[in-house]
């Protein structure tokens, strides 16, 4: 087999936990990956050694301060050896995966949820079917979070490659709405609100429960499109983020196919909806037919007592 490479997922300047899962994904693929860490400061690569992985390369450059599609693809393509490349299935890394695959003229398989040797399985048609493809040659693969057990972290020697001189484009400044909240793409528990929440102010009920559970707050597209105060970064679904938490609580969300596409692989789905015929109940492990106004205060109180 040719070389396998993991491009570490970086969140807020640190190596994200999903990187350890990518190592396990590569092991299931039959490889022992080289880990490449895009960074401004190479010291973050010290935490990127894992059992079953090979060397760690810190790819250092100012362009890695904020994501810029062309800048990252150019810089990482230049330092990544030939072989199969694994990234996390986050919106940013899926974009990067496609760009690197195009530059190398090799296939890309996105959103992989199972790996059996060179067989890669991923959802298609908004999650209505699964496809398995055989990767008989080099391929770029994005892997969903919370599928593979995390590889054990171990100390590793880090080689540093300075890409500072290879900057074609770079983002000078990123203006983002600041949020203390966990991103849905990284969360193990998510509570999401839809148009049924009636107003953005009512999302405070979801936030309080999220605080008790250590969860992230998500939203349907109808919610982010209707209310400016609900940022698009919270959107779960086909044109939002794909999530795969252990627990997904959908509140006032009908369960349109485009929403399901982003969350139906969650381990447990709980739906709270006043309409017993809402499609979300067909996919929920637990359903509560009631308004959120009746349900959330009781849920919050009970969870607070339990925790």
Ligand X SMILES: Cc1cc2nc3c(=O)[nH]c(=O)nc-3n(C[C@H](O)[C@H](O)[C@H](O)COP(=O)(O)OP(=O)(O)OC[C@H]3O[C@@H](n4cnc5c(N)ncnc54)[C@H](O)[C@@H]3O)c2cc1C
Terminal CA-to-CA distance of the chain, rounded, Å? 48
Closest distance to ligand X from the beta carbon of 180 (Å): 24
Q: Is 127 left (phi over 0), alpha (psi -120 to 50) or beta?
A: left
Q: Of the two residues 107 and 279, which places its CB atom closer to ligand X in the complex?
A: 279
Of 111, 107, 130, 138, the residue nearest 29 (C-alpha): 138
The answer to the question of residue 259 lying near ligand X (CB under 6 A) is yes
> Taking a C-beta distance cutoff of 8 angstroms, is the pair 36, 80 a contact?
yes
The answer to the question of residue 127 lying near ligand X (CB under 6 A) is no
The answer to the question of residue 273 lying near ligand X (CB under 6 A) is yes
The answer to the question of residue 5 lying near ligand X (CB under 6 A) is no
Is the dihedral angle over the CA atoms 112, 130, 27, 20 positive or is it negative? positive
The residue range among 2-10, 50-58, 176-184, 190-198 that interacts with ligand X, by the rule CB under 6 A, is 190-198
The answer to the question of residue 194 lying near ligand X (CB under 6 A) is yes
Q: Would you give the distance in Å from CA 115 to the centre of its chain?
A: 17
The answer to the question of residue 218 lying near ligand X (CB under 6 A) is no
Q: Give 274-277 contacts, CB < 8 A, sequence gap 24+.
A: 274/196
Q: Of the two residues 104 and 195, which places its CB atom closer to ligand X in the complex?
A: 195
Size of the site for ligand X (CB under 6 A): 27
CB atoms within 10 A of CB 300: 17
Contact map string, positions 233 to 252, toward ligand X, x by CB under 6 A: --x-xxxx-----------x
Closest distance to ligand X from the beta carbon of 300 (Å): 15
The answer to the question of residue 11 lying near ligand X (CB under 6 A) is no
């Amino acid at each position: 087999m040719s070389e396998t490479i993991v491009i570490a997922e970086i969140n807020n300047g640190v190596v994200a936990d999903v990187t350890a899962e990518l190592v396990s994904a590569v092991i299931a693929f039959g490889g022992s990956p080289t880990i490449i860490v895009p960074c401004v400061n190479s010291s973050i690569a010290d935490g990127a050694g894992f059992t079953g992985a090979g060397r760690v390369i810190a790819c250092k450059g100012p362009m890695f301060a904020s994501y810029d599609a062309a800048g990252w693809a150019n810089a990482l393509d230049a330092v990544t050896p030939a072989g199969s490349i694994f990234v996390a299935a986050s919106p940013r890394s899926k974009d990067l995966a496609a760009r690197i695959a195009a530059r190398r003229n090799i296939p890309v398989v996105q959103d992989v949820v199972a790996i059996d040797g060179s067989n890669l399985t991923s959802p298609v048609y908004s999650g209505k079917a699964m496809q398995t493809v055989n990767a008989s040659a080099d391929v770029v693969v994005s892997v969903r979070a919370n599928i593979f057990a995390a590889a054990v972290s171990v100390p590793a020697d880090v080689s540093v490659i300075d890409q500072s001189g290879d900057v074609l484009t770079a983002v000078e400044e990123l203006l983002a709405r600041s949020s203390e909240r966990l991103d849905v793409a990284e969360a193990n528990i998510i509570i999401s609100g839809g148009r049924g929440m009636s107003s953005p102010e009512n999302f405070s009920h979801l936030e309080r429960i999220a605080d008790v559970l250590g969860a992230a707050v998500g939203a349907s597209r109808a919610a982010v499109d209707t209310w400016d105060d609900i940022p698009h970064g919270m959107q779960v679904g086909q044109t939002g983020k794909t999530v795969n938490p252990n627990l997904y609580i959908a509140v006032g969300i009908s369960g349109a196919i485009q929403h399901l596409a982003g969350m139906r692989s969650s381990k447990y789905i709980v739906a709270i909806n006043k309409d017993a015929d809402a499609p979300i109940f067909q996919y929920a492990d637990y359903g509560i037919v009631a308004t959120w106004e009746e349900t959330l205060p009781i849920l919050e109180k009970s969870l607070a007592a339990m925790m």
